[in-house]
Chain A
Amino acid sequence: MELQVDELTPSMRCVSLSGRLDANGADRVGVPFTAAVSAPGRHAMLDLSGVTFLASMGIRLLIASARSVDARGQKLVMFGAQDLVKSVLQEAAIDQIIPLVDTRDDALAYLAQG
């Protein structure tokens, strides 16, 4: 599991994950991922297009990070999930509590809303 952070603007960053977001993957990126997503003063878009597998420990990491973002009054949106990853997010109803959109442009549009 790999992590990449791109600063889009002073108040917005894109965090990209690639690989398997399972128990071992979540262990490897957990701390830097949460820090990257919930950095003060920044909204975040999470690029899931490189995630090939998602399991409950990965979902747990997403939830914990999203909670940190919410607690700071900032926004987080996920995009680009592959079909099988998307179906797991939907089965667990995570898409109901963390916004999930299709494309990078959709994510930018979501964060641009007031």
Chain B
Amino acid sequence: MWSDAGCTASAPAMPPLWPDGSAAAPRLDLQLPARRESLDDAQRALSTLLHDQRVDQQAVYRCELVLEELLVNVLMHGRVVAGDPGISLTVEVQSDAVQLCIEDGGPDFDPLTCPDPPRATHISRAPVGGLGLMLVRRMTRELRHERVSGRNRTLAWVSREPACPGR
């Protein structure tokens, strides 16, 4: 896919163009080491892109939350091995949604298979695990998982509608 890296547009505000002249969706592509410091780096890059593209504040929050939860899950359950390229993050701002794609080299893990934690009726029985992926499912319009060449690939679409909770 043609990314901003090859863009030769002269004005920064112009969207990059596909070879046929149509406008490509604004995007970012990052390679991140699999460590906690990458959370802040990824959020800063995401925030800059979304604010530049004038994405609604509520949709920005949902995107940041989805990114946070998916990255934290990778960092908590993944593993760092020699030669692993780390985490790949791609974000594309489409007309009606923001697409996030996260790839990692951890063990095969499909976030769609994790059930929501049981709803607690008292603080003494409140779950501490599973909330992150539950929030991802609540905040996204669509969520997909693939295993590609030994790496996990999670794609999430967050609606740009301000009031819609991603669905």
Contact = CB atoms under 8 A, between A and B. Distances in A.
Interface of A: 22-24, 27, 53, 55-57, 59-60, 63-64, 66-67, 70-71, 84, 87-88, 91-94, 96-98
Contacts of B134: 92
Contacts of B128: 60, 63-64
Given A22-B39, A23-B39, A84-B58, A97 B121 contact: yes
Interface in B128-156: 128, 131-132, 134-135, 138
Interface residues of B, number: 26
Interface of B: 36, 39-40, 43, 57-58, 61, 64-65, 68-69, 72, 119-124, 126, 128, 131-132, 134-135, 138, 165
Contact of B135 (A23, A64, A92, A97): A92
Nearest to A59: B131
B126 A67 contact: yes
A55 B121 contact: no
Contacts of B119: 93, 96
Nearest to A91: B138
A24 B36 contact: yes
**Looking at chain A's contact residues, is the secondary structure mostly helix, strand, loop, or mixed?**
helix
B165 A91 contact: yes
18 contacts: A22-B68, A23-B72, A53-B61, A53-B65, A55-B68, A55-B132, A55-B135, A56-B68, A60-B128, A63-B126, A63-B128, A66-B123, A70-B124, A91-B135, A91-B138, A92-B134, A97-B126, A98-B123
Contacts of B65: 53, 55, 88
Given A63-B128, A66-B123, A93-B120, A57 B138 contact: no
A42 to B, nearest CB: 17
Given A55-B65, A56-B135, A92-B131, A67 B123 contact: yes
Question: Across chains A and B, which 10 residue pairs bring their CB atoms closest together, nearest first?
Answer: A56-B132, A56-B131, A55-B68, A84-B61, A97-B123, A63-B126, A66-B123, A23-B72, A70-B123, A91-B138
A19 B48 CA distance: 18
Contacts of A63: 123, 126, 128
